[in-house]
């Protein structure tokens, strides 16, 4: 088990990575929902939830039917071969430990659902390209959920459009403002503008018009910016 103080939050590109989840119940379903959009996700179990079966029918996940209670070590080893991450999520803790041990032989990353493993999967908030992960390292799921509710009330859907607008403005300013410090100041003026945020609640076009107006006004005030 990894030391708690050695955990570091990272954003990983899982394109083409293999994720193997053991357990076809609600926990396995939740994990599959999280990973299926960004990685090749396989769920192993004898039975599967209705949602997992729907996901298989849509090509979102691959379901591998196997009686895990009677599976041999070689069968389990074959299933985890080439995996980037293994998630033992069955209702049998001894089986979960066995799968963990087999995956650990090949230094595969492991997210254990009943104890702290080498990988902790946070509660995730996504607003377009804004991604926020929340974790208490398994010490208090309630605090993690509470924190998520608080943050979700602050991080509105407009944040996604602001990221788009800031990205567009950065490209524009790189062509027209040589000094990086000045570009940063202009971007922050837009980010701090209540009018722009209010504009985003109406339409992206209105907010963009206001943002470019702010930039243009500063060009007029300081021609040396251009």
Return the ∠ at Cα 30 (arms to 157 and 100), rounded to 5°. 130
Place of tokens 């659902």: 113
CA–CA separation, 155 and 108 (whole Å): 34
CA–CA separation, 74 and 76 (whole Å): 5
**In this model, does residue 27 exceed pLDDT 70?**
yes
**Out of 112-116, 165-169, 173-177, 189-193, least confident range:** 112-116
Span 140-145, average pLDDT:
90
Of 15-24, 104-113, 143-152, highest mean pLDDT: 15-24
pTM score:
0.81
Decide if 19 contacts 41 (C-beta within 8 A).
yes
Contacts of 63 (CB under 8 A, 6+ apart): 24, 42, 43, 44, 45, 48, 52, 53, 56
| Higher-scoring residue by pLDDT: 30, 178 | 30
**In this model, does residue 11 exceed pLDDT 60?**
yes
Each domain of the chain, given as residue ranges in start order, spans 11-120, 122-154, 158-225
Per-residue pLDDT tens for 83-118?
Answer: 999 999 999 999 999 999 999 999 999 998 878 888
**Out of 5-9, 181-185, 212-216, least confident range:** 5-9
Helices (H), the chain: 26-35, 50-57, 73-80, 93-104, 141-154, 158-176, 180-191, 194-202, 204-221
Q: Is 107 left (phi over 0), alpha (psi -120 to 50) or beta?
A: left
Query: Can you read off the two tokens belonging to residue 212?
Result: 């470019």
Query: Can you read off the two tokens belonging to residue 180?
Result: 């990086």
Classify the C-alpha dihedral 111-115-116-117 as positive or negative: negative
Calculate the average pLDDT of the chain.
Answer: 92
Q: Please, which pLDDT band fits residue 218 given cuts at 50, 70 and 90?
A: confident
pLDDT number for residue 221: 60
Decide if 90 contacts 66 (C-beta within 8 A).
no
pLDDT number for residue 104: 94
Q: Please, which pLDDT band fits residue 223 given cuts at 50, 70 and 90?
A: low
Q: Please, which pLDDT band fits residue 2 given cuts at 50, 70 and 90?
A: very low
pLDDT number for residue 1: 46
Per-residue pLDDT tens for 38-54?
Answer: 999 999 999 999 999 99
What kind of fold does domain 11-120 have according to CATH? Rossmann fold (3.40.50)
pLDDT number for residue 131: 93
**In this model, does residue 62 exceed pLDDT 80?**
yes
For strands 130-134 and 123-127, give the pairing: antiparallel
**In this model, does residue 195 exceed pLDDT 70?**
yes
Strand partners, 134: 123
């Amino acid at each position: 088990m990894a030391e708690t103080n050695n955990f570091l939050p990272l954003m990983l590109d899982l394109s083409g990575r293999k994720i193997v989840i053991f357990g076809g119940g609600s926990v396995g379903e939740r994990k599959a929902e999280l990973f299926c959009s960004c990685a090749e996700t396989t769920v192993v179990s004898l039975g599967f939830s209705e949602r997992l079966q729907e996901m298989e029918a849509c090509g979102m996940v691959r379901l591998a039917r196997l009686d895990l209670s009677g599976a041999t070590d070689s069968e389990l080893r074959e299933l985890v071969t080439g995996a980037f991450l293994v998630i033992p999520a069955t209702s049998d803790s001894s089986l979960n430990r066995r799968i963990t041990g087999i995956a650990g032989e090949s230094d595969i990353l492991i997210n254990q659902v009943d104890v702290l493993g080498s990988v902790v999967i946070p509660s995730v908030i996504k607003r377009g390209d804004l991604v926020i992960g929340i974790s208490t390292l398994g010490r208090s799921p309630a605090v993690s959920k509470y924190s998520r509710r608080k943050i979700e009330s602050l991080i509105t859907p407009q944040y996604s459009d602001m990221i788009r607008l800031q990205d567009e403005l950065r490209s524009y300013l790189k062509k027209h403002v040589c000094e990086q410090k000045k570009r940063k100041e202009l971007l922050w003026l837009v980010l701090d503008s209540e009018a722009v945020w209010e504009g985003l609640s109406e339409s992206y076009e209105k907010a963009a018009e206001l943002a470019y107006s702010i930039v243009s006004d500063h060009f007029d005030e300081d021609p040396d910016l251009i």
